[in-house]
Structures are given as C-alpha cells and as structure tokens.
Structure 1
C-alpha cells in the first residue's frame, strides 16, 4: 500500500467502506486509533452548493485506510492525502476544495467550495462519549477547537456549525421505525427499512406496550392495518409520544372515521393533525413495493424537516 515520493514512502489512500453513518465512522476511528494515528476530517464550511451537510466526516488511518464522505465522492481521496500529511506533521490543518481553493485541478461538480478541519486525534474519549450517547438513543455534540487542536463532548445545539471559535458537530440516533400491521404492505416496508439501515421494531399481536415504549423523538410510527380496531392501541400511544412521524394506512374516508373515533376519545386537533393519512409521499399505490417506497420516502422527508 505504499508509494515512493523521492526517498519518502507514503501510504496510498484506500477507501475501505462506503458508509456515511456517523456512528460507524467513529467506531472505525476508535478501532484504528488502537493501532496507530488517526485523523478526523470535518466539513466546517460550505460555499455555494454542496453534496453533504456541515459536520460530515472522513476518517483516515495512518496506513491510508479511510471512510466517510464530505462531498459526492470527488474529493475524499485528496482529503485523505491531506490527513496523512497532517498525521506525519503531528499538527491539525484546514484545507479548502472547490471555490476558493488552491487546488485548481479539483473542481466540485456543484460549483461551490468546502473547507475541512483535519484533526489528528490525541485520544478517543470524546468519540466514545458520542457512541455511548447514541447507544442510549440520545443526541450528542462534539466541539472542535482549531486553536487548542482539541475535541471535547458538549451538549448538542439544534444544528452543526460554528459557535464563537469552535465548530460543534451534532450526532443523532439513527431513525427507528415502529411498524404495526400483519399485512403484505408491512412486510415490504420492513424489508426496505432494514435495507435502508433503519432500526426496525415490528409490533406483534399483544405487544402494544413494548412498541409504545420504543417510541422516542427519532422514531417514525407506521400503521399498516386494514382495520381501525387493530391499530387503535398503538395509534393512541403514538399520539402522546414524541415520535417525529405517524402514518396510517387507509383512504380519506377511512381517515374521517379514524378522526371521529379519536375525537370521541378527547384527542385534540393538534394531536390528530400529526397523523399522515393516507400514508406515504405519493399515492394511491396499487402494490406493496410502491407503498413501501412511498412510506419510507415520507419518513425520510419528515426526519429531514424535523432535524435539518
């Protein structure tokens, strides 16, 4: 994995994973740090358009292995090369790509520019703190100080960005989908949600309590029943939960009946308005796969709106 530059052997950057899951990236950093130096490159500034959000990472090990994305894939190898130089110097650095960058041969397809803060990890305690918080289904924050070349855990702000002289990244648990329904549509949604990397909990008969207890503010509740009685218990639990999305199967006529039942149970209009019914981003659909795509596209859009 080495190439010779003059008399110096330098590692060649090699992508080892296509993931952009922040938790997986931080685990890679912790594991790699046990065997040598590691650098964490963070997207800290965007000029114009960009393919990734502020706080996105590329993690680079001293042997050239790297993972993560700060663009659509066009600059990551160059970022890894800069991170290797930072590790060789033992000093953090900030680099620019695209608009405003000295690298004229690296042009971002979106036409904008990005800045990356490359931090050579001294220890991984702050990263482990984030993983511990995510494991408890809680958001976490990391403050990077360019002046101190340090990384410290902090309470997460609403969104990633600069707070005075520090850049604060935000990490949130992956989307959980609590799925209720013994239908072919439910099976299709479960398969696609799992393939999308979501945390899927399928509510079985008599398991309303367990399912309701799993609904946190990073959870979407998906009700795919053909019978209003079957959905009643989990729907009522979802309406008093902090879940960011509640969707229910059925026609507009069915939803009017649903609203009448909930109103009779003293649910307020604001609570009832949380229900997306008919469920999904587009419709009507006539097959299970199309419905699954419609539902999960709606869930993804709602998550972005809730935590932009």
Structure 2
C-alpha cells in the first residue's frame, strides 16, 4: 500500500480524518514495530517532541530526535539528499520547519511518507488534536460553533481546514490585515471572518486563541501587541457565550491573548487538548502506515 504524506489537513478527506480520529481513541496496533521515525526539529517544541516520541513508542517504533544543526537541509546538504538519507533508516520522516517548501521538497524526493510537525503555513497535528478535543467536549463536529480570536496563522489555518471538512462552523475574529485573504476564505468555503471578537464569540460553543507573536516574529512584537490589544480572551468576552469551552494550542501568555482567569478556569480544556496531541499523533502515524485505510 502506498503510504501518504501528511503535510496539510487540506490533503485529507473527511473519511481520512474520521479514520485518524478513530485510531487516536482506539487500538492502533504496532505498525511501527522495529521501525524508526525521524523527528527533525528546526524549531524547538515541548508538546510536539514529547507527543511524537511517545506516540511512536506506543506504535512499537523507535523515534530519533534530530536537531537542526545535525542535518542542515539546503546548506550542509541538499533537501533532497537529507530526505533520501533519512529514508534509508526510517518508516516516517517527520519535520518541524520554518518554511513549508522544505517539507514539499522532502516529500518529492522520496517515497517514504513525510509528516508535517509544523510549518509556517500549516500545523496539521495541532488541527487533528483540536478536532478530537472538540468532538470529545461537544459529542460531535458537524454543526459545532467555534470562535477563533486572533491571528490567522498556521494553527488557525489547519483548524479552519479541519472544520470545513468536518462540517463545523468556524468564525475567525482578527484585526484588519491579520486575517485570511479573500482567496483563502473562498478556498475554505464555510469559514466566516469578522473583525469584532464579540461578534465571533456570541453563541459559540468553543472559544480558541493563540499567541499574538509566534516564533520567528519577534521583530513584529510591539506592532502585533498594539494590533491585538482588544483581542484578549478574558472573562468578559467568555461571558458572551456562557457555556463555551476555552482552547489554546500553548504555550500561553497569561495577560496577553488570554487572561489567567480564563486560562485556569473550569471552562478551560487546554490540558485535555495538549494530551490529545499525543493521541492524534499516534492516530496520524498509524493511518500513514496503513491502519484504518
């Protein structure tokens, strides 16, 4: 069976996501028994490394953590040669990168499946964890009402793609200049975009946010903090939807994008969401290896 890459949730169908979520909550077996999983990190991460290493072990595999200076794709060696080398040893090549084109280059160079652990445009593993968490909290994805307050970044994009595929209703609230383009909104179809965070949150069952300044955007920090000053998810905003759960992909900065009162409240499901990173990583890798397909 041909093993697929997983670079973006847009690569998947609704049936694919259903299969991955089922594997995330069920017995995925040991499809990686005796096999290696390369985990290449250009960017560090607590949740991604821990969840991926544990998921690989649970599937019977052996994860190998690789730091950016150990490979140097595009500098020390070509991207294609790096991918072909890793393919000699591993059943899956997973990478967390600055530029999505690096992942595309790896995928084009080898038949070994490439899994996106994060790029500048997409975060599919986070999106899968978000979908699983929402389904667990609400009992369904079809028709779920979700508000995302903040930057239309890689996390928002993967969430939007997943919601569009699964029939959930996502409204994104961003300042002017920080939302999705008209072309991207047209591609996403059912996703709605507004400027007013109150409008997005009213009637929502899930309220989601992320940091205002992502890794690599330090030079824009002051400008972004001014732009997003009115977009903090605090108690007053959460009160616009009395029964909503709060989600955050972490790390969170209390006092900026979220108040401590919301982050640490009984309505916060961020730790379930963080745990689900491991479960959906397991489901995604099992699916890549042919389970559930």
TM, length-normalised to structure 2: 0.29
Larger radius of gyration: 1
Q: Determine which structure has the larger strand proportion and give its number.
A: 1
The higher-RCO structure (CA 8 Å, 6+ apart) is 2
TM, length-normalised to structure 1: 0.28
